[in-house]
Every structure is written in C-alpha cells, then in structure tokens.
Amino acid sequence: MAELVDHLAELTGFRDRELLDVTLVGALRDLLRPRAVAIYRSVGEAGHERWLTRARLQAGELAARADPGWVDLESLPAHHEHPARLDAFRRQTIVQLPGPVHLTLFPVATDRESLGVMEVESDSALDERDQRLVMSILRIYRNFQGLLDYSERDTLTGLLNRKTFDESFMKAVAEPMLPPPDGEGEDRRTAAQRCRYWMGVIDIDHFKRVNDTYGHLIGDEVLLLLARLMRASFRFDDRLYRFGGEEFVVLMRCTDAPAAALAFERLRFHVERHVFPQVGHITVSIGFTELKRGDTPSGAFERADKAVYFAKGQGRNQVRHHAELVASGHLEDDAKVGDVELF
C-alpha cells in the first residue's frame, strides 16, 4: 500500500504531460512487474489516424522510450495495424489477448477526449484485482489531466491559454538544431530534426463589429468555431493558443518560411470560406516569424504582431512574414537601433 501511495504522489507531482505519462508507465511497471507497459496516443486526421508512442517501459529499463512530438506521421503505425488497440480505443473497454505474451489493453481518456490506449505485456493474464488497480490509477490520471486542462486551457475554446505559452516557447528556442543538409537522401526523422520553429499571431478582422452587431454570445460562437478551424488546419503537434479576445497564437515546426506561410495560408483560406451562423463570412489577418536562439516570448510576439498590423493596414485577410517585410523595407529591423546593430 505504501508503494502505491508513493507512486500516486509522484504521478500527481508533475505539471508536464510528457513526464506524467512516463511516471504512469513507471508506476505500473513497478506495481505489476509485467514485461512492458506503454501508452499509445491516437493522432492524425479522421480516416488517417496513427499510433504515437507516448511512453514505453520494459522490465529492467531505467528510462522510458517515446516518439518525439515532431515525428513524421507517415512513419507511425496506422490504426488498423493494431486492431486490439483500436477495439479498446473505440469501445472504451478493456481488451485482453492471450498468448505467449499476454496483452491487456486499457482505454486512456480525459473528460474532453479519448486519448489512446495503455498496453500491458505480461507472462499471464492480469487478474481482476490487477485490472481494478490499473483502472483506478487511470481514473486518477484522468482526473489530474482534467485539473491540468482547467489550469492550462481557455475555458471557451479549449485551446491552450496564455500562461502556458512561455514554457513551450523557451523549450523551442533551447532545442538544438542540426546543421543544413549536405546532400540528398536523408531519412524522414533526420529531415524532421532540421525543422525550425515558427510563431504566428492570428487576429480576427473587425471582431468588435461582430460583438456590437450580434452580441457577445454570437461573438463567443465565432471564437469557438475559429478554434475548431485551427485544429483542422494545423498538425497534431502544433501548439494552439488563445491569448485573449480575438487574438490567437500558433507555435509550430516547419522546414522553411514557404512551408510556414502555406500552413498559415491554409487557415486563412478555411476561415474565409467558412459560413459562421448568423454572422456569415469573417476573415483573419496573420503575421508570423521564425524563432531564433536567444529569443524572448515578448520579442518574437512583437515581430509577428507587427506583421499582423501591417496586414491589417494593407486590407486585412492576408498572411505576412515579418522577415520579408523587413527585407522589403516595409518594417524596420528590430535588431538595429539607428545604424548600430545589436545582434
């Protein structure tokens, strides 16, 4: 009992979701002594879902293994390649597969969504007591995820909130980057590592007019639908934030500026084409910038925000890259004061 309490205390001691998953598999490995414990998350668009390994720990291993958040989706196993996982995930029930290595699969979910599956490999079937133990720990995990959602997410849209941004930003600018490629033929994983981080600021055009004309309830519905369009336009590992009011931020990885511009243009196009109830059509203005080593959250945000305001001054409903605006002379270089270069 003392060991179980210690593990529960450790499980609820983290605010980092990756560490939470690693702690969860470690706790069950120590309590059940199975061959392996793993958490697999369902990622990807409907009809093209994949299994992402969040944490996998085998007997005797000191550290859990996981897929990086920026892994190429095509390299992950598809849903249909693991029918037992898919069964547990869709029916939200325990699934057992007897064999030389017995598999027991548990659904993993939060109050907001079904996340994936926990898979336990053991020499024999888990008895009823062990299954109850796992389900009880997963309920604690679910409740704690709910507390994290409450503190980290915007209550209206479900997107991440402003106070979670700084930590993710600092992780991004501190991440080591590989040098440019010196030839052809690198694999997907290496190519993904060469991606750089980009930040975009998204502002709804004439949003005050929406609130003044239709009321704040309709305005809130516009914000909620825009958040859904953002989720549909960006990848599962892109981080989406509502900063307040009609302002949103995206933190993502892309190979270069054209790829980043294409991603933001996709959102702009989807918003322009969407018919919002009662309101009809709205548009967004978007500015983006590449994150640089040594950047601060406020510095990067200011660059992207300047690009947004330039877009609004040029007619709105467009995507603008800060560096291109500086290169063309439309904006001043933030790294200079007069003729003195600071960086």
Tokens representing residue 284 in the block = 């967004």
Quick one: angle between helices 128-152 and 17-32, nearest 10?
170
Distance CA 40, CA 89 (A): 10
How many whole angstroms separate alpha carbon 46 and alpha carbon 41? Answer: 14
The alpha carbon dihedral of 214, 240, 42, 19 has a sign of: negative
Three-state DSSP class for residue 272:
helix
Nearest CA among 147, 115, 113, 97 for reference residue 51: 115
Q: Are 252 and 234 in contact (CB under 8 A)?
A: yes
246 is a catalytic site residue: yes
The Cα 111–Cα 295 span in angstroms is 36
Residues paired with 215 in a beta bridge: none
Residue 269 one-letter amino acid: F
3 state DSSP class of 154: coil
> From the candidates 49, 119, 246, 290, which is the catalytic residue?
246
d(CA 210, CA 207): 5
Residue 252 burial by Cβ neighbours in a 10 Å radius (0-12, 13-18, 19+): buried
Residue 63 structure tokens: 């550290």
Instruction: Provide the token pair at 311.
Output: 């877009």
Which residues are marked as active site?
246
